[in-house]
Amino acid sequence: MPSTDPSQSSESHTPHPEIGNLLMMTDRYTNEEWAAQIAETQKKVVVNKDVVHPRPAIGSREFAETIDHTLLKLDATPSQIDALCSEARTEGFKSVCVRLPYVSRCVSNLKGSPVVVACVVGFHEGTHDTYSKLQEAKAAVDAGAAELDIVINHSILTQASQSQSSSGNATTTESLTASNTAANSKPFSGSPPPAIGPYSIPESDTTGEVIPDYSGIYKELASLRSLCPSPTVLKLILETSQLTPPQILACAHLAAAANFDFIKTSTGFNGRGASLEDIQLMSAAAQYLSTKTKSNDGSPVRARKMQVKASGGIRGLDDAVRMLEAGATRLGSSSGLWIMQESRERGGKESERRPGATRLYTDDSAY
């Protein structure tokens, strides 16, 4: 079985004539092989809704370090960016998450502090071609970004379902998706059985199915990983609001195979933001994909477990706590100040309240 670590790959690279040393990885499996592997993952991942993950104590340094303090509005001003950095230092957030043009400004603002700079890539549609994403990623790392939040080209998955639908084979996919979505939409603390899954489509119903270009997605992710090896932290934004549970699992599988560090729910600019069901599913997938199982020939897709970042619509402390307890270890939010203010209030430390801390950066128009 070929290595699953793209950085260890002996596969050949094809330099792009216009971009010189930005290398495009070749694939390691055929599209059909990817589909078979992904189908196994879809079959095996089961969510236990009763699991409550441990989380840092509210008010602790570790709690603040779960937050990527985010400002991605296109009309963000330099002074808002400077304020973002200063707030991140004061609050002890993990990072500031910004667009490429502001990376070097943030790096300079945050010099000498443990707060790192995260840059979005392919934001927010994810449909940029691979070379644009590679260029953007390289520019961000060259400017000092320690983390990249990269939007997957999720339209590859959704367009495949649409062509399946128009060719008359979509009924089962759609009805299965609907039933999974309905199951996943039940209240978190209700009485239904805690285990949900499998998320697979019965084989008899997939005859004539259009296989999405998994290979193309993998090549893009592997190329990004190869260009930006560890310790650059790579997070893959799935835009879960646009995907069915089986599609989310397909993305998680490819992210793990390409050695990404995180899978992340949302851009905050397309549809709803993170849901508890997304986080539970992604967390179960990350766990499954890091475990040695018979289902993938005894070889783990990867040895190191991916982490899960919840983002989009996390507006306060209760949202943050719920996401962490559902399995997220990082939160992307433009309401970080509000979360911290509520956290201080919850701890009874009214004297530390920061007057004027509001949802300064939230783009409510997306909801």
Q: Which residues contribute to the site for ligand G3H (CB under 6 A)? A: 70, 72, 97, 267-268, 273, 311-314, 332-335, 362-363
- What is the closest distance, in whole angstroms, from the C-beta atom of residue 79 to ligand G3H in the complex? 19
Geometric angle at alpha carbon 220, from 214 and 226, rounded to 5°: 130
- What is the closest distance, in whole angstroms, from the C-beta atom of residue 273 to ligand G3H in the complex? 5
- What is the closest distance, in whole angstroms, from the C-beta atom of residue 16 to ligand G3H in the complex? 28
Q: Which is nearer to ligand G3H, 72 or 324 (CB)?
A: 72
Q: Which is nearer to ligand G3H, 164 or 333 (CB)?
A: 333
Closest CA to 232 of 136, 146, 106: 146
What angle, 0 to 180 degrees and rounded to 10, lies between the N-to-C axes of helices 276-289 and 245-257? 40
**Pairing outcome for strands 47-48 and 195-196:** antiparallel
Closest CA to 234 of 119, 161, 147, 363: 147
What is the C-alpha separation between 257 and 253, in angstroms, rounded? 6
What is the number of the residue whose Cβ is closest to ligand G3H? 268
Contact 330, 307 (CB under 8 A): yes
Q: Which is nearer to ligand G3H, 121 or 256 (CB)?
A: 121
Q: Which is nearer to ligand G3H, 40 or 277 (CB)?
A: 277
Query: 44, 133, 219, 309: which is the annotated catalytic residue?
Result: 309
Geometric angle at alpha carbon 257, from 11 and 146, rounded to 5°: 95
- What is the closest distance, in whole angstroms, from the C-beta atom of residue 114 to ligand G3H in the complex? 20
What is the C-alpha separation between 238 and 366, in angstroms, rounded? 17
- What is the closest distance, in whole angstroms, from the C-beta atom of residue 121 to ligand G3H in the complex? 12
Q: Which is nearer to ligand G3H, 109 or 362 (CB)?
A: 362
- What is the closest distance, in whole angstroms, from the C-beta atom of residue 147 to ligand G3H in the complex? 11
149 is catalytic: yes
Query: 94, 264, 278, 319: which is the annotated catalytic residue?
Result: 264
What is the C-alpha separation between 275 and 273, in angstroms, rounded? 7
Query: 68, 149, 278, 319: which is the annotated catalytic residue?
Result: 149
Closest CA to 306 of 265, 247, 264, 248: 264
Find tokens 């793209």 and name the residue.
Answer: 6
Geometric angle at alpha carbon 281, from 275 and 284, rounded to 5°: 140
Q: Which is nearer to ligand G3H, 246 or 273 (CB)?
A: 273
Mark residue 343 as left, alpha or beta (left: phi above 0; alpha: psi -120 to 50; beta: remaining).
alpha
Q: Could you list the active site residues?
A: 149, 264, 309
